[in-house]
Every structure is written in structure tokens, then in C-alpha cells.
Amino acid sequence: MKTLDEYLELATQAHGHICAGQVLGVRMAMLGLRELQIDNPEKERKRFVTYIEIDRCATDAIALVTGCRLGKRSLKFFDWGKMAATFVDLQSGRGVRIVAREDSKERARQMFADLQKEQAQQNAYRSLPDADLFEAQPVHVEILPEDLPGYKAPRIVCEKCGEGINFNRQVVASGRTLCRACAGPRYYEPMS
């Protein structure tokens, strides 16, 4: 695994700037991988899956450190608004959920009272021990075959809209095979 400073330099380049969320995300991913005893995420990237619970700067940093990507089906996103991520070893089945401690912002303010909030947080998040920054909890995550990287399945066509559906995401409702948008609430509303 690279050093914290190496990852922060890469995170700055990839994300466009360094911020407290980037530092937190790098540290969170490094801890998660250490907990799973994954020393070289670049070479072992097919060995694990990462679940993230927030769509903020930390997410880019977590993806950078782990090498997990949505397009590779190894990064899973749940919009729960929590500064948390779960790392799952596909070989052993072990999982660990890492959550940023709520009191870390206050610790940063106390440690670096003479600095602006953002710089204080960055400095504190670089230097605080993992136990003062995060809570780590062993977890079990049931990963269905269709959620694994590399899963292949026949493409199904929605009987209502005619769009293709991958990865067994279809729904059978009233005897019809439908996409999730046609079967229930959707995030968009067609204009025509």
C-alpha cells in the first residue's frame, strides 16, 4: 500500500483539490484495507468490494485508494448520507464497516484552534490515530451473485418500455417482466 502522503497527492490530482473529506476518505480506505489484510489493492482489486454511504469528496478518495469502480461493479453506492464505507473480502467473506467519528471535527477544532475550520480538519485528519478518527465494526454483507464483479446473465427486455435490463434487475409484476422504473417509483418522469 502507498503512504498517506502518496495517496493524498494522487487524490489531489484526481479530485482537483485536497480537502478534509479527501483526507478522511484516504484514511478510511487505508484502514478498511488494513483490517482486511489487503496490502496491495492495485494487485488484489478483484479480491474485494467496497460499499460507500455518501456522495461527497471522501468517495473519490476511497475509490482512488481501493481501485474499486462503479463500472467494474466493485464499488457499490448507497445514498445514506453517512461518512461511512464497508470493505468486503470476497475470498474470506470478512467485512468491516468504517465510520467517521462525530467528535473528530471538535477534536480538530481543539487541536488547531488557531487555524480556519477546513485547514484544522485537514491537519487533524492527517495526524489523529485511527481510533480517534473512526469506528471500525466487523460486519457480514450478503452479496448476491448478480452483484459480484464479472457476473454475466441474459439481457431481459422490459415488456412495457422495451428497454434492456442487465444483471437480473427485472421485476415480475402482474405476470409481466418489467424494468424497475416501469414497475414502481422512478427518479424521473417522462415528458412525452
pLDDT in tens, 11-35: 999 988 899 999 999 999 999 999 9
Dist CA 94 CA 169 (whole Å):
26
Start-to-end C-alpha separation, the chain: 51
C-alpha cell at 76: 457499490
Please determine whether the domains at 4-143 and 153-183 fall in the same fold group of CATH. Answer: no
Give CA torsion, residues 29, 30, 32, 35, to 10 deg. Answer: 170
Q: How many residues does the chain have?
A: 192
Q: Which pLDDT score is estimated for 153?
A: 84
Give 113-129 pLDDT, tens digit per residue. Answer: 999 999 999 999 999 99
Fold of 153-183: Wheat Germ Agglutinin (Isolectin 2); domain 1 (3.30.60)
CA nearest 52: which of 28, 16, 33?
A: 28
Domain ranges, ordered by start, for the chain: 4-143, 153-183
Query: What percent helix, strand, coil does the chain show, rounded to 5?
Result: 40, 20, 45
Q: Which residue has the cell 479530485?
A: 15
Q: Which pLDDT score is estimated for 27?
A: 97
Question: Which residues of the chain fall below pLDDT 70?
Answer: none
Dist CA 173 CA 184 (whole Å):
10
* CATH top-level class of 4-143: alpha beta
0.85 exceeded by pTM: yes
